[in-house]
Amino acid sequence: MRHAIWLAAFWLAGSAGAQEAAIGYVKNVSGEASVITAGKSAKAAVGTPVQQGSVLRTGPKSSLGVVFKDETVMSFGPDTELSVDDYLYQPGQGKLKLGSKLAKGSLNYVSGVIAKLQPEAVSVATPAGIIGVRGTHFAVRVEEE
């Protein structure tokens, strides 16, 4: 019984999230790319929503572009994997955070409103360290050992 309640709660939270919690959208894809949200993988296409916790992946010879609600722009080269671990964009309440992690590949990053309003709330983690973003454009590459 307890299990059933938990499952129902989980399912409700999940379905509500799918409707409301798009934090950005895929804007362009070339080759093979996917958006993995809550363990479910969807082929990335123009308009595919990205949510907090989503993992963005590109295959060989592929690329992907995403624009987030706060106007942060990210684009990815081939063989890339990035997870959007934290995303909070409620300027009215001062709730701002954008934490992502580049596991491998190449990322081009143009920071948005969150970095403008609260620079210390924006970071990109890599396997070797963490990049703090002070309102700017940069590119980062992670090559697997």
Partner 1 sequence: MRFSSFCAVDRKTLGRGLLAGLLALALSACGGKSYVVLLENPDGSTGKIVVKGAKGEQSVSVAGQGVPNDGSAPPAAIPQAQIERDFGAALAAQPKLPVRFLLYFQSAGVALTGESQALLPKILEEVSQRPAPDVSVIGHTDTVGKAEMNEALALKRAEAIAALLKDKGLKVHALSVESHGERNLLVATPDETAEPKNRRVEISIR
Interacting residues with partner 1 (CB under 8 A): 22, 24-28, 30, 46-47, 63-69, 71, 73, 75-78, 80, 91-93, 106-108, 110-112, 126-143
CB of 80 to partner 1, least distance (A): 8
**Which of 18/73 has CB closer to partner 1?**
73
Coil, strand, or helix at residue 105?
Answer: strand
**Which of 2/144 has CB closer to partner 1?**
144
**Which of 27/36 has CB closer to partner 1?**
27
DSSP string, 9-53: HHHHHHHHHHHH-EEEEEEEEESSEEEEETTEEEE--TT-EEETT
CB of 119 to partner 1, least distance (A): 9
Contact 28, 64 (CB under 8 A): yes
